[in-house]
Amino acid sequence: MAYNLKNHSQIENTSEGCPDLSTIEQKLGHGYVTSTPEAGTMLGLLYEVGKKIGSITKLNKLVKQITQMTQSTLNATASSVLLFDEKEQELYFEVAEGESEKALRKIKLNAKSGIAGWVAQNKKPIIINDVMKDQRFDPSVDEITGFTTRSIICAPLLVQRKLIGVIEVLNKSDGSDFNGRDLETLTSVASTAAMAIENAQLHQTVLNAYKSTIKVLAAAIDAKDHYTRGHSQRVMEYTLMGAMPLSLPRDEMDVLEYAGILHDIGKIGIADSILSKDGQLTDREWEIMRQHPLIGSDMLKDIPFLEKARVLILHHHERYDGSGYPNGISGEDIPLGARLIAIADAFDTMTTDRAYRAALSVDRAIKELVRYSGTQFCPIALEAFISGYNNQQKSLDTGNGNYDLSEKD
């Protein structure tokens, strides 16, 4: 059975008794949504969807929320969002809710074939309650994932007719057929979801540009002294390695990434004659050098997305016993991220050649870190760092990775 829609030519459907969606669209468009219980429920759903996803800017998190809400609302076994790669003319699973999520993420589909491809090409929703009777059904995804698709509703994700992707919902949990109201719900959710996804993609594009700028800044810092070339990148990597055992939220890991790679950005304001001096620094030169956390913090104060990272940069030379700089704070008053960066910074400094000495072995460097646990370094952060290092070495199968906090001389 086919239904004529406002702005759509046809929707294919294998179920009987589905409402004319153009009527619903007109009600939504002209403010009549409260005239029926169904419309009131729809408005409530769209409000909830908008409220939950409107402020999410992380694409993966956003799509996860969309699929979870869609699957739950439509009482389905699985739900997924496929995003459109215009350059490659492919659809790929950003995230899926239900079985076989990991397998789905590896799959890329031709945007001109299959049911999802038909929806993408025609920019029209579809409902099919017996996929085995539809020649467009491609069983290859089921074969890879082990999932069995019986029925599907699928809607395009469009922003002003521009294709963002498609959203699909599979198999009613109770084995019943999808109906017109289900399709109406999915189509309405898709409209809200498409705008949110496009905003998240734009946010990610801007963020990627920021990250590229950050890497350029980090390279500029390291280029001032050939002994520290690559130091900023390594400190960032060691910081993230040390944070892994703590199972920090993704947002906090992002802050650590920015702060780790920019921890020494303030050195841009330090004279080369001090940064590259072969011998020991004078007291006055040390006083100047110790200004770099303050300089770095001041440089970043007007960049909102780096505000949390700025705090860690300011405090990455504080010591656990309070004898550090610039503020002399101690213990838990030092942000956890700054404590992790302090350890990563010291570890990289010890394990690379410097003008005043050759690199220490990893074994020796870890013993030095442990020796200063509780004075210079936070014991909790150090335990996490050592655990992260051990885990990394074991995953690389190096035969190393057996260090612990009892490594003191």
pLDDT at 96 over 80: no
Confidence of residue 45 (pLDDT cuts 50, 70, 90): low
Complete domains list, the chain, with CATH:
2-202 (3.30.450.40), 224-395 (1.10.3210.10)
Q: Which residue has the higher pLDDT, 116 or 407?
A: 116
pLDDT at 127: 95
Percent helix, strand and coil across the chain, each rounded to 5? 55, 15, 30
Average pLDDT over residues 365-389: 97
Average pLDDT over residues 216-242: 85
Residue 212 neighbours by CB under 8 Å, 6+ apart: none
DSSP 227: G
Structure-derived torsion over alpha carbons of residues 62, 66, 72, 75, reported in degrees to the nearest 10: -150
Helix and strand element counts for the chain (H, E): 16, 8
What is the share, in percent, of the chain residues with pLDDT greater than 70? Answer: 80
pLDDT at 60: 81
pLDDT at 120: 96
pTM above 0.85, yes or no: no
Average pLDDT over residues 370-379: 97
Average pLDDT over residues 118-146: 93
pLDDT at 407: 56
Average pLDDT over residues 12-18: 41
pLDDT at 176: 96
pLDDT at 218: 83
Mean of per-residue pLDDT scores for the chain? 83
Which residues are catalytically annotated? 267
pLDDT at 40: 46
pLDDT at 13 over 60: no
- Is the distance from CB of 115 to CB of 152 less than 8 angstroms? yes
Confidence of residue 7 (pLDDT cuts 50, 70, 90): very low
CA 171 to chain centroid, in Å, comes to 29
Confidence of residue 50 (pLDDT cuts 50, 70, 90): low
Confidence of residue 66 (pLDDT cuts 50, 70, 90): confident
